[in-house]
Structure 1
């Protein structure tokens, strides 16, 4: 390989490693540690690729890229940054950067990107502006991969399929793709396929004409038409009935829809982002999901990591949710490191949604301004934020017998202490599964809605804090 590289990096140790790796591959490398030195080198020589850090001693490496573009409009740019947030990834993308690498990065991946950039001499397309209120939080390596995938789809209309467990933030990713992309001036319309009765889902998606079926007393515009010019987010796509899958596939292939009961085809211009917490491949094998629809949706897959695989993000997420809770009228709280360490040990089966609910409850129940480890233990449970949910009667019996034997409770207290240990996670799990919908939670539990309300009141559980965020 050959080519001349400008490395703008103020960390001498990182610069030495990068320089050595690039020179081993045959590149000539000039290195500087400031914006001023960068501009002098660009004025005096020609470079095939520039690598730049963001935070430099004399300014922001991204904010000053306009002068670089003026001097070297065709030079590929690679951004390196320890400020590894979605905002930084999008800012890098906005410069037309060839690639963005959050620190720490894989050195082989960086060298490969430099080689590709040196061979291409091409930049990405027109700039997109950075939106406000970016919804995703986290600086873990797992989230960096998500951010990089998001930046790759902002300037095109490729269909995106977001995969991940319930509560990982799939709708937030869809919103970020819309808000930061070139369709941000258009509508963002979300539809949850699992929440719509199977006999109404086609009407929900495509609309219907007056008299199309019993109860259709007027014409209705479907989600496709509502999203025209913008983004249509199809959540829980794995729960869509087969007949609706067939019509959806036809709409995706043709860009045209027909209202239920209608004869006229209507052209629609929408960007499709779909999401599911299901593994679609076994569903395809069993005939429950169309294989051709899967390939139509799975153009750009984005895999969201479960919270247990990004525990280093829990502190940032907890502080983020405490701020939200305060803005929504709950007491202002801070959380100390010991409490964070306890939260980081939890399995978080409900992922970010479960953490959010736990933080809201801590904000409500804490006695002091600072949430400490003792508060976490008292409010969320002695050993974990949510005691393990038994899978069957035998495991429940074993758990109770072990708990009773281990704690030697006073006579007459076993029943009430067992209820205290198991009722709260039971009701919280039901609310988490139904997005805070009390009627659906009551049906799931097989109890009367009034009974559920009384239990929630007795246990001080706020159903509204379980509203879905993904």
Structure 2
């Protein structure tokens, strides 16, 4: 008879603790429970734990401290942090210090079973975990960069960031302009073994083609007109740390060949020199283009793409993170008034506009809009304080909504049923939120079940 794997459930909420424990027991696990960190520590070495579910906030030592202790003494254990306060930064730090997963309450029985089955099916291997830093935020997580959000897409994205941070793999960050590619790259660097080394940013699209080689690799004295002294390049400066190649798809074909050589051989040659210099830099690249399409179009080398994207992180657009918009807005408002001498709040109309706007410039555009609005407002940001382009968008959207579908008076036109109009509009809002039903329901001011019923008409009536 096979021995049942051991699982420990740590939560000071009896209902949550019992739910997780009962699901695991029914799935063939030998389960123990603890209502505090101290109770968990007493059971730490009673047996070999395979899976540990632990709440973040326990009233004493928090879940991150429990994770660190288990990581030191039960390295084979897979650790799952649970929280009622969803945070993308929390997910990043949980996975960066070794958590197998990060669950946001309320979660489903399927979530528990998925993790349990995944852990049971894996080969047991020792995972090296980074030490937990002492500085902690409200939830106990390390948060020295503004990685703000709780939307599912952003949380999943930062889980991946946390997992790759401790490796030395090259990373390609893909996302529209303004989604925070450099912020994520810095997060990877700061949570890596290279954190004490330099983080060097290179904007490949901003450096002239005839200067980029000299900027990155340096040059020898007299190598070209104006080179009156030897110069160390940015790549050499990043050795021992991380080099971030922003907008890497903007580079020329000739430079891509030289970039590939550095990645393959780990050495650079300064312009005008025959001597090679060994470099040890972790490479993180970023692009706002579809790199596969660039390769297919002959504008980017396929072999270089494979070198750069050992791991690819796709950052979601802000319009796919509707739940995060007001969290970010509040953060930027505080940033605009750091002394907090006059706290700012947003009117209900402004909140609705901010959550429905398309944000083509993503988080960067939102930051600029909030800084603009707060500079004009006293204690409440109203519609007139928003930038003109956002006010114009709102007016155009309202006009479009008022006139949508009203074409039946045109000769040959036909009246549409209210149900058809309702379904079409609901689908349009769902498309706007990137398929996020919860966000779409909030914009439509209905509950999620009602939205699902409206959307289901399309399938039922086809």
The residue that corresponds to 1:405 in the other structure is none
TM-score under structure 1 length normalisation: 0.74
Kindly state the Cα deviation for residue 68 of structure 1 after the two structures are TM-superposed.
4.4
Aligned equivalents of 1:141 and 1:29: distance in 2? 29
**Equivalent in 58, 83, 99 of residue 97 of structure 1:** 99
1:224-280 per-residue CA deviation (whole Å, 9 max, x = no partner) reads: 111111110000011011100000000001000111111001000100000000011
RMSD: 3.0
CA offset digits 1:403-452 (Å, max 9, x no partner): xxxxxxxxxxxxxxxxxxxxxxxxxxxxxxxxxxxxxxxxxxxxxxxxxx
Q: Is it true that 1:34 corresponds to 2:36 in the alignment? A: yes
Structure 2 Cα separation of the partners of residues 385 and 225 of structure 1: 49
In structure 2, C-alpha distance between the alignment counterparts of 1:253 and 1:146, rounded to whole Å: 28
The equivalent residue for 1:54 is 56
1:235–1:274 CA contact under 8 A, matched in 2: yes
Please identify, of 103-112 and 301-310, the stretch whose mean Cα deviation from structure 2 is larger.
Answer: 103-112
Q: Residue 81 of structure 2 corresponds to which residue in structure 1?
A: 79
Counterpart of 1:220 (choices 219, 227, 231) is 231
In structure 2, how many angstroms separate the alpha carbons of the residues matched to 1:256 and 1:387?
A: 55
Residue 325 of structure 2 corresponds to residue 347 of structure 1: no
Q: Where do 1:304-319 residues align within 5 Å? A: 304-319=315-330
Tell me the equivalent position of 1:197.
208
Question: Please, which of 128, 152, 161 is the counterpart of residue 150 of structure 1?
Answer: 161
Q: Where does 1:269-348 land on structure 2 (aligned, <5 Å)? A: 269-327=280-338, 333-348=344-359
Matched, 1:384 2:386: no
Partner of 1:433: none
User: 2:275 is paired with a residue of what secondary structure?
Assistant: coil
- Provide the secondary structure at the position in 2 that maps to 1:30: strand
Q: Is the 8 A contact 1:76 1:98 kept in 2?
A: yes
Per the alignment, do residues 358 and 126 of structure 1 end up closer, same or farther by CA in structure 2, a change over 3 Å counting? same
1:94, CA displacement in angstroms?
A: 5.7
2:433 corresponds in structure 1 to none
Deviation per CA, 1:13-34, whole angstroms, max 9, x where unpaired?
5445534443343223333433
Residue by residue over 1:324-348, the C-alpha shift from the partner in whole angstroms, topping out at 9 and shown as x without a partner, is 2224999763334543232111111
Mark the CA change 1:47 to 1:271 in structure 2 (over 3 Å): closer, same or farther: closer
Q: Which runs of 5+ in 1 are unaligned?
A: 389-398, 403-470
Query: CA, structure 1 residues 246+102, in 2 after alignment: closer, same or farther (shift >3 Å)?
Result: farther
Q: Secondary structure at the match of 1:161?
A: strand
Equivalent residue, structure 2, for 1:25: 27
SS at match of 1:56: coil
Distance in 2 between residues matched to 1:258 and 1:160, nearest whole Å: 24
Larger deviation, residues 309-318 vs 148-157: 148-157
2:81–2:99 contact (8 Å) kept in structure 1: yes
Q: Where in structure 1 do 4 or more consecutive aligned residues deviate above 6 Å?
A: 328-331, 385-388
Write the distance in 1 (CA, Å) between the matches of 2:18 and 2:172: 40
Closer, same or farther: CA 303–41 of 1 in aligned 2, 3 Å: same
TM-aligned CA distance change 1:10 to 1:369, over 3 Å: same
